[in-house]
Structure 1
Amino acid sequence: MPTESGVFSELDQFDRKILEILAQDGRISITDLAAKVGLSKTPCQLRFRRLVNDGYIEGFRAVLNPSKMQLDHIAFVEVKLSNTSEDVLKSFNAAVKKIREVEECHMIAGRFDYLLKIRTRDIGRYRRVLGERISTLPHVASTSTNVAMETVKEGWH
């Protein structure tokens, strides 16, 4: 169960340190991870496998450089739906997952229903994605765009 701080009680100091290090460097070897955590290799490897099997670690992936891929333009889109019945939400959720340019999609409690993070190469491409893909999603009543001028912090690190 989560403690008041939100940390699961099954995690001890070694588990938390393993997760912290892996969040920074998912390619670290078990030998190097064990040394940084202060465990021998076998106990560290067993803890690592348990953290994966218990779902604390969802997977490993490459962190891509958006600038190198010419995806520097970030827009946050507030989406208001025509209604929020369960069928409408399911329909919207399924459709938005198919849009490659949508990097993140969050259901929001507030003056709009969803907040989307859209990454494209420029404002022209964003405008096309908004007009042709986002605005035509099921049950979209209105959208409002906020363009990021600079990314100060992104990710867990």
Structure 2
Amino acid sequence: MKQEAAELDAIDRNLLRLLQEDGRRTTLELANRVGLSPTGASQRLKRLFREGYVKAVRAILDPQKVGRGTVVFIQVRLDHTAPHIFERFAEAISNASEVLECHMVIGGFDYLVKARIADMTMFQDFLERVILPLPGVRETHTYASVADVKPDALLPI
């Protein structure tokens, strides 16, 4: 049975916070930071992974250095809303490497897509090649980010 977040103790929360800040910390360093033995910290970490509190440990890359310096947000409105259209759209958008996130939303449009591209000169190609051919797309509105005010925020623990 999975623990609920409210049932995590202070040590678990501290371990999760420390991992979010820097996933390369060693078990020994984590143990020292939370006041446990290395074995105790290791057991807790294994449990937090096993129970799904930690989904993955990844490196955060510099978007400029890997040729993905521009962020665009695209509002997508579908021509009609039906389960099969949602499923086809979700499957197709999941295969687009430029897309970082896609959220089904409630409001004046159906999806909010966050993508990283090289620059605005590549945006037209991305829109025509990836977004517009997606199943059911009727209308899009795009917003280009001019500054990352709070990128990759840590979850409050």
**1:6-155 matches, cutoff 5 A:** 8-155=5-152
TM-score by length of 2: 0.93
Look up the SS of the partner of 2:100 in the other structure. strand
Matched to 1:17, the amino acid is N
Contact 1:23 1:156 in 2 (8 A): no
| 1:19-78 Cα shifts (integer Å, max 9, x gaps) | 000001101000000111111111111110000000000011111110111211111000
Q: What is the RMSD computed on CA atoms of the aligned residues?
A: 1.1
Q: Structure 1 unaligned runs (5+)? A: 1-6
Relative contact order (alpha carbons < 8 A, sep ≥ 6): 1 or 2 greater?
A: 2
Which residue of the partner structure matches residue 3 of structure 1?
none
Whole-angstrom distance in 1 between the partners of 2:150 and 2:122: 24
Whole-angstrom distance in 1 between the partners of 2:113 and 2:149: 18
Matched to 1:25, the amino acid is D
Contact 1:73 1:148 in 2 (8 A): yes
In the TM superposition, residue 9 of structure 1 has moved relative to its aligned partner by: 2.4
Matched to 1:74, the amino acid is V
Matched to 2:140, the amino acid is T
Runs of 4+ in 1 over 2 A off after TM superposition: none
Identity of aligned residues (%): 37
Whole-angstrom distance in 2 between the partners of 1:16 and 1:117: 29
TM-score by length of 1: 0.93
Number of equivalent positions:
151
Whole-angstrom distance in 2 between the partners of 1:38 and 1:105: 39
Look up the SS of the partner of 2:41 in the other structure. helix
Contact 1:80 1:141 in 2 (8 A): yes
Contact 1:77 1:115 in 2 (8 A): yes
